[in-house]
Amino acid sequence: MSQFFNLDIHQMELSAKQIAGILNGKVDGDEHVVVDDFSKIEEGKPGTLTFLANPKYTNYIYETRASIALVNDDFTPEKALPETLTLIRVPDAYRALAVLLSLVEQAKPKKTGIESPVFISPSASLPQEAIYIGAFSYIGENVRIGKNVAIYPQSYIGDRVEIGDDTIIYAGVKLYAGCRIGQRCIIHSGAVIGADGFGFAKEGESYKKIPQLGNVVIEDDVEVGANTTIDRAVMESTVIRRGVKLDNLIQIAHNVEIGDNTGIAAQTGISGSTKVGKNCMIAGQVGLGGHITIGDNTNIGAQAGVISNIESGRNIIGAPAIDMKNFFRSSIVFAKLPDLYRGHNQLQKEVNTLKEEINKGKSEAI
């Protein structure tokens, strides 16, 4: 299989039959048609492979010019498909695409060696083989780096940092002293791991800084997006558990703990000492207050503001956050508020008119 995935995506060449074999899929059409690139379904080109996973894009499959489309097993065309299109049916088209993209990624050549100039402390522990350190990087005292690690240019690896096997540190990452990164992690450019937490004590009209003496521990198979920041703990550790996926531009404060396999979208901020459970999904621009606990399997919608503990398994949104069903019901009412307000004012006028007539009648009776 590797012979078909050479140096990059544009050198891939596979037939529908071969792709179906890789994915354990079923060909619906010409099994000999060949592709050498990928394309979005709305921009499909001949000789490319596309996919249909989101029902919102179904209409594009009837006009796409792509040669092969991955579709779910239960896809039933409502009208004729292009004669040039071959389908490969799989249980989950999106996951199948991910498999193919991963194979292409793995086939790309990996950088190795130590470029110049770099600074590497004599006390740092590096493997003898399969490591890459890009130019203008800094490796501090007593750093421990595992096998097959890639550290791209202009990265800062502070004293006593530990980096596990097969981890990628992209350009311009800053790992402060004492932080620990697990195996098979990906830290994207501009991320800062281990900066001081926001800890200050008010003294009159000024602030006294509280030293942040802990570190950040990132377990295995974690991905940290570009320009995301994770603060070190006041004491002990800020912990990102195994399998967590963090988007770009996220702020995680000191002593936070994120549970296994939780995903968090961009521009989310998590305040100090908050604990987020396992398998949670947190959408963009969410704000979590400090010293609260979010239970396992919780889904939090975009722009939610969470200020209190949340039990496991809930779906919440809004600021302050409430159950999603109640939020959407409330949204319907909110959209009608101008009409309700006008109706209220009209009713108030009519009530006032009735009161005036009643009072006038009473006066005349007297």
Question: Could you list the active site residues?
Answer: 254
Assigned token pair, 20: 């179906």
**At what angle are helices 324-335 and 337-365 packed, to 10 degrees?**
60
What is the rounded CA–CA span in Å between residue 237 and residue 217?
A: 6
Q: Which tokens sit at 46? A: 């001949």
Burial class of residue 230, CB neighbours in 10 A (0-12, 13-18, 19+) = buried
CA 84 vs CA 28, 51, 71: distances in Å? 12, 15, 16
d(CA 19, CA 38): 13
Structural contact between residues 198 and 231, judged by C-beta atoms closer than 8 angstroms: yes
**Residue 106 phi, psi dihedral angles, 5° rounding:** -65, -25
Q: Give the integer Cα–Cα distance in Å for 109 and 5.
A: 11
d(CA 173, CA 334): 44
- Residue 196: alpha-carbon gap to chain centroid: 23
| Planar angle of CA 67, 72, 76, nearest 5 degrees | 85
Distance CA 67, CA 245 (A): 33
Tokens 């990087």 sit on residue: 137
DSSP per-residue letters across 157-204: E-TT-EE-TT-EE-TT-EE-TT-EE-TT-EE-TT-EEEEPP--EEEET
Q: What is the largest CA-CA distance in the chain?
A: 109
